[in-house]
Chain A
């Protein structure tokens, strides 16, 4: 049996009337103890007896790869194989690809591409042998810079006459912003352990979306997906980089088959930078036309992004621009340059992370031009329905986010003019931005077995740090009337029902609703045994209550168990109304007048994402997003060599993420909200909203502090200083 739901319309909020009282609470993670004792096992943490170690070898140039000393390395001490199999993959698969990515390692399309796997008895031997391999390439880099490419893309979305609106506008902004190529940089490098039992392959790997990953791996190896089992009980961060299978998985599986032993392949950090998809750099032309009061009459958002030939992903820069603000005259378009740089793909909040950030900087420029408060400018331009399709919003929380965020931040006390506050060498300023992120739902299944001991929840969903173990415990416990310690959640195993996987902020709401439905099925069975209507059933602390009758659930089970299966899919509710999450960012910065250094002093983020499933893990997610915004605004960026496109700064010493000392006190305010269109839990995604626009609040604060508009991110000291002179 299964309870299936296609989310076509609004759902009733059943959880509100439930009695357990754990849903939404700031409960500690049930996996916390394993994580603070070192007991949590990630992809590279279980090594069976007799396991061989594989090292991927990177291409030093473009074109055909010739190995000059193949036999010498192959026959060296401790080396078991040098594998160059046509099934090996060029780069990680795109999210939800569900099939093999581009395969083949006989030629390299970008510098750093895997071109061989050296397998040896030990890590040290494998590493040495991999370094000893002499490679020759014969190709030229081809096109590696966006401005040199003939871009491709769909025609623009055009409404009205933007050129006319711009020329007749009382105030207008026509600016170009750029954001740097960047990476997810999850702390766990991509790693795989593979072993075969006859035709059956088992793989422990660092992955976000197992049901798709299984098909990607099976397709790469040309085997039946039924013969592939993936395990990923703990994943050391993803942020998009583990949406699709990566080179280690396919290479390890091929080697394990060929050598008849388990093989572990862990990517070196520098390989992760190159072989796993990056976020494309963007060039964004933003045009805003407004009347004397700042009401928008026109919006233009045209972007240029890049990817490798053959990759089906283009950073959807203007995804939120379609619905963020009103304005009758609109041009929204995107072009893609095909470059021989490492492949681009999804990195936390693809689209909005860079698109909303640049757009919200341009909005700040408009506010300056109109001469009104930037919060007020946003308030004046909130649309009452989707400005392009005309459909209603499922809920719209921007105004509340702006007002409550401004209140908590103390925005009203702000000096209006820039360059008004100085402390020694430092200019002090504040800035703000709105946050938008589309709300998505995928398909998910989950099952629950209720026994006298408690409930066991199973789905192949992953917890990449997002708190899946916690929230699924709370959802099942709330619906079944069980305290958290009587719910066990098992994740990351493809023998379990397929969840949504983690990505696009849809994991919690999608898989959470599947667990919710599985629990509803069990509730119905309990109600039947209680001879009452399910709607009248109360479950709390292992007891079923109906009217005057109260019985322990264990007694109702009569020594057996009850099973529930839930299955949820997105329906018309995701096309009949516009679903989005909203928020507001505020930041205070200090800009050094002598060095151009920017220090963020404090940040405030107010976010509305439907029901909050766990207040503690939700807050942590928001901290993460806001911190990524600091990095995007000030320090993070891949530098591609202009001659050959290779990543110059492919490690943590040269690629600068925000560290502890860069992160000021972060005030996170979660707005209490229910969105009935988002499914029975009335929850929406929140893992990505925190980054959308956060960097704009920082850059707008930089302008307010010192009067410098930095339109090329990151705003490194040299760029700030250039404006200060």
Chain B
């Protein structure tokens, strides 16, 4: 099936087998191997990308479901130079092996948007919005992205720094 995706601001048309996941389309058909396949079951978050600004596990979604969608992958986060979030990950050593990192970065970007839009989490006291980026909110909201190197202290410090720079927290 032919579909058109706007990937990292560029419209691209691909012809995919309907069984192909969005992750495999990105990695295979489009050569964007930054997004990683850690489990192919939505359990690790390494494949997290932004679709129309929201984070999703791209391994759990079929490419053909995204005709006309706008997709941002890790390759689209830098704009000539590293984004503040990417730079903060390097500064705070928010990774070791780096395999989960593309997913962490996309997830963090989406997460900060959700927070700003007043989406509650398991750590929220109410459903009314107006959430702050507390440690509890941050770590709860990022717990869908596993890091076996366990760089959570660095990941959280990096996200906090980028969010503060952005005025979001």
Contacts and interface: CB of A to CB of B under 8 A. Distances in A.
Contact of A35 (B39, B95, B138): B95
Given A42-B36, A124-B20, A269 B41 contact: yes
Contact of A268 (B40, B78, B98): B40
A616 B151 CA distance: 12
Given A33-B82, A39-B34, A235 B150 contact: no
Contact of A36 (B19, B20, B95): B95
Interface string A660-675: 1111011000000000
Interface string A170-187: 000000000000001111
B48 interface: no
Nearest to B105: A36
Interface in A619-669: 619-621, 623-624, 626-628, 651-653, 657-663, 665-666
Main secondary structure of the interface of B (DSSP, over half): loop
A187 B100 contact: yes
Interface string B112-151: 0000000000010000000000011011101101111111
Interface in B31-66: 32-41, 43-44, 46
B42 to A, nearest CB: 9
Given A464-B97, A659-B146, A123 B28 contact: yes
Contacts of A37: 34, 74-75, 77-78, 82, 86
Given A124-B20, A620-B93, A623-B150, A45 B33 contact: yes
B112 to A, nearest CB: 15
Contacts of B110: none
B90 A33 contact: yes
B96 interface: yes
A660 B139 contact: yes
B101 interface: yes
Contacts of A123: 24, 28
Contacts of A184: 148
A38 interface: yes
Interface stretch (A10-18, A24-32, A248-256): A24-32
A616 B98 contact: no
A28 B86 contact: no
A653 B42 CA distance: 9
A465 interface: yes
A663 B153 contact: yes
B24 A663 contact: no
Contacts of B44: 187, 269, 652
Given A124-B17, A124-B19, A237-B148, A465 B156 contact: no
Given A37-B75, A124-B19, A620-B149, A188 B82 contact: no
A628 B98 CA distance: 18
Nearest to A652: B43
Contacts of A42: 36, 99
Contacts of B90: 28-29, 32-33, 36
Contact of A658 (B20, B99, B150): B150
A220 interface: no
A189 interface: yes
Contacts of A623: 150-154
B149 A624 contact: yes
Interface size for chain A: under 10, 10 to 19, 20 to 34, or 35 or more residues? Answer: 35 or more
A363 B151 CA distance: 30
B39 A652 contact: yes
B111 to A, nearest CB: 11
A657 B97 contact: no
Nearest to A186: B148
A325 to B, nearest CB: 29
Interface residues of B, number: 60
A266 B37 CA distance: 10
A237 B41 contact: no
A416 interface: no
Contacts of B93: 28-29, 616-617, 619-620
A427 interface: no
Contact of A38 (B17, B28, B73, B156): B73
A123 B24 CA distance: 9
B150 A122 contact: no
Contacts of A268: 40
Contacts of B143: 659-662
Contacts of B86: 36-37
A507 interface: no
A237 B36 CA distance: 13
A696 B117 CA distance: 42
Contacts of B155: 660
Given A465-B96, A652-B44, A185 B77 contact: no
A146 interface: no
A651 B151 contact: no
A168 interface: no
B97 A627 contact: no
Contacts of A617: 93, 96
A41 B31 CA distance: 12
Contacts of B102: 38
A653 B43 contact: yes
Interface in A417-457: none
A44 B100 contact: no
Contacts of B100: 187
A561 to B, nearest CB: 31
Q: Which of B73, B91, B97, B147 has the most CB of A within 10 A?
A: B97
A2 B98 CA distance: 34
B21 to A, nearest CB: 9
Contacts of A36: 74, 77, 82, 86-87, 89-90, 95, 98, 101, 105
A662 B150 CA distance: 11
Nearest to B34: A38
A35 B148 contact: no
A187 B38 contact: yes
A677 interface: no
Nearest to A189: B38
Given A38-B32, A44-B37, A185 B153 contact: no
A621 B32 CA distance: 29
B26 to A, nearest CB: 10
B99 A237 contact: yes
Nearest to A28: B90
Contacts of A266: 37
Contact of B41 (A239, A628, A651): A651
A467 interface: yes
Contact of A624 (B17, B41, B151): B151
Given A187-B44, A652-B39, A663-B152, A657 B146 contact: yes
A149 interface: no
A215 interface: no
Contacts of A666: 153
A212 interface: no
A187 B97 contact: yes
Contacts of A660: 138-140, 142-143, 145, 147, 152, 155-156
The 7 closest A-B pairs by CB, nearest first: A38-B34, A465-B97, A236-B99, A465-B96, A35-B98, A627-B150, A652-B43
9 contacts: A31-B98, A36-B82, A40-B98, A45-B27, A620-B96, A623-B153, A662-B143, A663-B139, A666-B153
Given A32-B90, A36-B82, A38-B74, 16 more contacts: A36-B86, A36-B101, A124-B24, A188-B36, A189-B39, A237-B96, A237-B149, A465-B96, A465-B149, A619-B93, A627-B150, A652-B39, A652-B146, A660-B152, A660-B155, A662-B143
